[in-house]
Amino acid sequence: MSPSTITQAAVIVDPFSSGARYAPEFASFGIATVAVSSLPTVPAAYADSWDPALHRQLHAFDGNLEHLLAALRPLSPRCVLAGAESGVELADILTERLLPEQANVPSLAAARRDKGAMAQALRDAGVPTIPQICTDDPEAVRAWIDREGLYNRDLVVKPPKSGSTDGVTRVPAGADWRIPFDAQLGRINQWHNLNDRMVVQEYARGTEFVVDTFSHGGRHTVADICRYEKTDNGGQMAVYESLTWVAPDAPEVPVLTHYAEAVLDAVGLRHGTAHIEIMLTAEGPRLIEINSRPHGGGHPVFNLTATGDSQVHRAARWFAVEEAAPKGYRLLQHMTVLFLIARRSGTVSDTAVLDGIKNLTSYHHSAVKLRDGDVIEVTRDLLGTLTLGFVVLAHPDPEQIAKDTAAVRAMEAALVITPRPGPAETSEHR
């Protein structure tokens, strides 16, 4: 098919990570996809998911919006969707110009990407939030800490427009929050955004969940709810340990669902997918952040096995044939994703020990990338985690998954990581 004959295409902005799944799903309905790139290059951690051959046309956004609109308008797009976090803002702008009837609330566009604006939108809507400030002024932060009485409380410092836990730092009570604040302010992050301000917030304690949704016309549906386990790793706060699907009849599901819907309304998301990270605290649910795109890391494919559906599948069905999604989800089998963690930096060996993963009873999928001789860094964020890899376990019996989880961690512990010698080291320290 020549470019001139493409009509009613689905436009996907940054179709990598889980956004890569849009193309085959729309293709199953006979609908072509057109890829728009908002970044000069695909982040290295997601390069494996980028396949330009899946799309009928490729467009690179160079800052000239009118030029891009002129190229897309003849295609009569049926939707414009963000495939990854970096595409959220451009997808919003293109939808407003090309398909205004599908646009999310334009005046709240910043709240769907910028964590400072996000928190303000929730406060304006009366939705409970974690106390925070977003500024480039350290004196404003000092005044806020004093006003909120947070001098002896743990804090979190993070950029307002990063992603995949890039730049997220936990500051223990009494420690100097200025160190991570100054280190990140003015830096270009992994998503090619300037950290022109920083978010400083109270560290929220509780259990972290993610609610994955698909909305159309302001009708919100929940495709899955998962529980995160994270760990401190040598001072790094937000290192992923595991992700486990929550049964729809679990008592926390209605609480999380109601709160997630309030968040979606507060940030003006009426159409499309969202990945909503929520801490369930003793005081109730509190938003960590909302990402106006699908859950990354290939999650929709795994969700299809766990629940029989996914955000991406719901989106494709709606925009292809206007099939409304169910409000909730079912759990066909238990599923857990285990993320590999490097506890130290160095050269890895004995990776053959991980070969036993595929022999586990509940083994479902492995994306382990380690090879003998690889030089790795201590795991600091999600992009670092994805560089190492992850394992997916699925089984009707959650006890089997627990048993196999322990086996995977034992294999991980058996890896040998030899520190690289520093200038002051001698052979006896190696």
- In a domain? residue 196: yes
Q: Are residues 140 and 88 in the same domain?
A: no
Q: What CATH number is associated with residue 82?
A: 3.40.50.720
Are 171 and 211 found together in one domain? no
Q: Does one domain contain both 229 and 165? A: no
290 closest CA partner among 314, 306, 266, 324: 266
Whether 247 maps to a domain, the answer reads: yes
Q: What pLDDT is recorded for position 4?
A: 44
Q: What is the CATH number of the domain that holds 184?
A: 3.30.1490.20
* Shared-domain flag, residues 48 and 143: no
Return the percent helix, strand and coil in the chain, to nearest 5.
Answer: 35, 25, 35
For residue 202, which of 240, 148, 260, 276 has the smallest C-alpha distance?
148
Q: Rounded to an integer, what distance in angstroms lies between the CA atom of residue 343 and that of residue 324?
A: 45
Is the CB of residue 357 less than 8 Å from the CB of residue 363? yes
The residue out of 202, 220, 253 marking a domain boundary is 202
Assigned domain for 121 exists: no
| Same domain (yes/no): 84, 153 | no
Asked if residue 123 is part of any domain, the answer here is: no
Q: Clarify whether residues 246 and 168 are in a common domain.
A: no
- CA pair distance 210, 232, nearest whole angstrom: 19
Q: Name the residue among 122, 128, 188 with its Cα closest to residue 161.
A: 188
Dist. CA 91–CA 160, nearest whole Å: 19
Q: Is 423 among the domain residues? A: yes
Q: Supply the DSSP symbol for 188.
A: B
Q: Are residues 318 and 216 in the same domain?
A: yes
316 and 241 share a domain?
yes
**Domain enclosing residue 190, as ranges:** 131-202
Domains contained in the chain, number: 4
112 vs 216: CA distance, rounded Å = 16
Structure tokens at 255: 């609480």
pLDDT at 234: 58
Verify that 275 and 379 share a domain, yes or no. no
| 395: CATH | 3.90.1170.30
In a domain, 191, yes or no: yes
Which pLDDT score, from 0 to 100, does residue 235 have? 54
198-202/207-216 β-pairing: unpaired
Strand order of the β-sheet with 132-135 is 132-135, 198-202, 155-158, 169-171
Consecutive sets of 10 residues in the chain, 430 residues long: mean pLDDT of each?
Answer: 64 96 96 95 84 95 96 96 95 98 97 95 97 94 94 90 74 90 82 82 94 97 95 65 96 98 98 98 96 94 97 98 97 96 88 95 93 85 72 97 97 90 41
- What tokens does 404 get? 């196999």
Angle formed by the axes of helices 311-321 and 299-307, nearest 10°: 90
Per-residue pLDDT at 423 = 46
Q: Which of 144, 176, 202 is the last residue of a domain?
A: 202
Position 208 scores a pLDDT of 95
Count of Cβ atoms closer than 10 Å to residue 38 Cβ: 20
Cα distance between residue 272 and residue 257, in whole Å: 17
Q: Are residues 371 and 412 in the same domain?
A: yes
Same domain for 185 and 155: yes
306, 330, 354: which is the final residue of a domain? 330
Angle 235-382-265 (CA atoms, 0-180°, nearest 5)?
Answer: 110
Of 41, 19, 42, 22, the C-alpha closest to 33 is 22
Residue 111 placed within a domain: no
The answer for residues whose C-beta is within 8 angstroms of residue 269's C-beta and 6 or more apart is: 104, 105, 112, 215, 290, 292
| pLDDT for residue 429 | 29
Whether 109 is covered by a domain: the verdict is: no
91 with 138, same domain?
Answer: no
Helix, strand or coil, per DSSP, at residue 216: strand
